[in-house]
Amino acid sequence: MTALDLSSPVAVVGTGTMGQGIAQVALVAGHPVRLYDAAPGRAREAADAIGARLDRLVEKDRLTAADRDAARARLLPAGTLAELADCSLVVEAVLERLDVKQELFRELEGIVDDDCLLATNTSSLSVTAIGGALRAPGRFVGLHFFNPAPLLPLVEVVSGFATDVTYATRAYETARAWGKAPVACADTPGFIVNRIARPFYAEAFAVYEAQGADPATIDAVLRESGGFRMGAFELTDLIGQDVNESVTRSVWESFFQDVRFTPSLAQRRLVESGRLGRKTGQGWYDHGGDAERPEPDTAEQRQPPAYVVAEGDLGPAADLLALIREAGIPVREEDEDNGTRLVLPSGGQLVLADGQTSVEFRDVVYFDLALDYRKATRIALSASQDTAPQTLAEATGLFQALGKKVTVIGDVPGMIVARTVARIIDLAHDAVAKGVATEEDIDTAMRLGVNYPLGPFEWSRRLGRSWAYALLDDLHLRDPSGRYAPSLALYRHAHASDKREGTAS
């Protein structure tokens, strides 16, 4: 089944920010659009607001005046739901309450034609549960747009338990015809993005709660080493702490309080205190007019080591060897069956974060994962109270000689970027194994929906197919709560890879 014909009227019920955005997308694509809101006068106000945004698009040369005028002529406020009777698609964007949505769709079902596609824009409720109130739930789907809908390309097309594949396909193709990047997924808590993104926030908060580093420092490492556009603390301040925590709690409760999705107590206290982020002027950061942004912790300048000895190939950090040589520091390479580390002149070792702690070993400094060690502007190091000061100084000086700012955090297993990426990879593999979505759609969703520098499977291929499993397995030994236990899907993935490569595990 193909996309809806452009002559087919599309209705949007609910005219808040998201409803207006969806209506604008359908309108600019060429459909006649009907707007309905239960509050008197809201539909007319929404139509005027959309018209004003079309004017701005003309001013920015993104829309011609003729196309704007034609779009305005196709946009009609509706005074009653009965005026939506001839629509081929109705998208709901009303209050996030199951009973409200179910009642709306029950009423719509008695108004529109039997072939009309009914869709919810819910981000937190079960599509199956909403559609369960209908006589014919096969034509009911989720169309989860991201805010602002006219600008962000991603649309999650969610099939409920009873959704007919022909209607899901129609919804998918229609979203694509509107210029969006649709991804198909099953009805699971959080769908794709809100399910797989939880560790990005959770691990940052966990490092903070363990007093490993402060919010400004953790954010800087995620941005400047991990390649993420924003850190977890600044992003949740932008989203709203109440909104972000509500989504986390919803996913956690929907998965029967699965420990992998446990909310953060620190974030709960922030919400309870009314510090909700930018909208209240205070969250993790002070957003007052005169407030100064706190600086991340950055180590003082140290002397670089006279040389380093590379044992093993350093795995995902192999690019460091070329950078060290380019900085004029001699590198002696030695084959080592069990080693992937740098040995410093003091005898101390520099090791890529692997889920273990520095205190377990004699004189080991860990360094965090980077998206690209050449382009990274900051590298995090982790040491224990027993680490020799000279070893930490040499490790700091080494990365500073490569042009990096250096942050020293507490003895946190898996550090910041590494544990975050490993958990995202794990949840992605688990989602594929459970039929939530394909690898390609998950990568697309995470890049476009939350602006990750790589999709989880792109990360996995770059880091090595057993990397995430090995790190999480070590983390699980140190925190046996189950939070870091690798999924069966990741276990199978890692060991199948080993078998293909002819190695025992």
Give catalytic residue positions. Answer: 123, 144, 156, 194
Terminal-residue alpha carbon distance, the chain:
47
What does the block give as tokens for 69?
């005028």
Give the number of other Cβ atoms within 10 Å of residue 189's Cβ. Answer: 20
Which helix H or strand E contains 480, and what residues bound it? none
Answer for the pair 363, 388: CB distance below 8 angstroms, yes or no. yes
SS3 content of the chain, % helix, strand, coil (to 5): 45, 15, 40
- The CA distance from 159 to 140, in Å, is 8
What does the block give as tokens for 84?
């939506």
Q: Which DSSP state fits 27?
A: H
Q: Which DSSP state fits 303?
A: P
| Long-range pairs, 290-296, Cβ under 8 A, ≥24 | 293/216, 294/214, 294/215, 294/216, 295/216, 296/214, 296/216, 296/217, 296/219, 296/220, 296/221, 296/378, 296/407
Beta sheet of 10-13, edge-to-edge order: 75-78, 33-36, 10-13, 89-92, 117-120, 140-145, 154-159, 181-186
Cis peptide before 148 (omega within 30 of 0): yes
